Amino acid sequence: MGYVKPKTPHDRIGAPDLPAPPPHNTRLAMRPRPNRPHRQSRSGNQSIWLFGRHPVVAALANPDRRIERLFATREMADRLSAEIGKTDVAIVTREDLNQRLPAGSVHQGIAALAAPLEEPALEDLLARSGDHALILALDQVTDPHNVGAILRSAAAFGAAGVIVTDRHAPSDTGVLAKAASGALEVVPLMRAINLARTLDQLKDAGFWRYGLDEQGDAKINELDLRGRTCIVLGAEGEGLRRLTSEKCDRLTTIPTSSALGALNVSNAAAVAAYEWARQRPAV
CATH code: domain of residue 185: 3.40.1280.10
Identity of residue 197: R
Res 233: pLDDT: 97
pTM for the complete prediction?
0.84
Question: Among 82, 98, 114, which residue terminates a domain?
Answer: 114
Res 170: pLDDT: 93
Closest alpha carbon to 183 in 270, 244, 82, 265: 270
Q: Domain residues for 92?
A: 48-114
On whether the CB atoms of residues 137 and 163 are closer than 8 A, the answer is: yes
Same domain? 138 vs 55: no
Same domain? 160 vs 76: no
Question: Among 68, 85, 114, which residue terminates a domain?
Answer: 114
Res 43: pLDDT: 52
3 part of a folded domain? no
Res 173: pLDDT: 92
40 part of a folded domain? no
Between β-strands 161-165 and 133-139, what pairing exists: parallel, antiparallel or unpaired?
Answer: parallel
220 part of a folded domain? yes
Same domain? 217 vs 131: yes
- Per-residue pLDDT tens listing for the chain (283 residues): 444 555 566 554 333 333 344 343 333 344 344 444 445 555 556 899 999 999 999 999 999 999 999 999 999 999 999 999 999 999 999 999 999 999 999 999 999 999 999 999 999 999 999 999 999 999 999 999 999 999 999 999 999 999 999 999 999 999 999 999 999 999 999 999 999 999 999 999 999 999 999 888 999 999 999 999 999 999 888 899 999 999 999 999 998 887 776 789 999 999 999 999 999 987 6
16 part of a folded domain? no
159 part of a folded domain? yes
Res 10: pLDDT: 53
Same domain? 142 vs 175: yes
Res 180: pLDDT: 97
Residue 53's CATH number: 3.30.1330.30
Same domain? 180 vs 221: yes
Q: How many domains is the chain built from?
A: 2
Q: In degrees rounded to 5, what are phi and psi of residue 268?
A: -60, -40
Same domain? 136 vs 271: yes
177 part of a folded domain? yes
DSSP conformation letters of 136-201? EEEES---HHHHHHHHHHHHHTT-SEEEEESSSS--S-HHHHHHHTTGGGTS-EEEESSHHHHHHH
Q: Could you report the per-residue pLDDT of 109-141, keeping only the tens digit for each? A: 999 999 999 999 999 999 999 999 999 999 999
Same domain? 143 vs 86: no
Question: Among 114, 134, 160, which residue terminates a domain?
Answer: 114
4 part of a folded domain? no
Same domain? 90 vs 131: no
Same domain? 155 vs 184: yes
On whether the CB atoms of residues 28 and 128 are closer than 8 A, the answer is: yes
Same domain? 98 vs 166: no
Same domain? 192 vs 176: yes
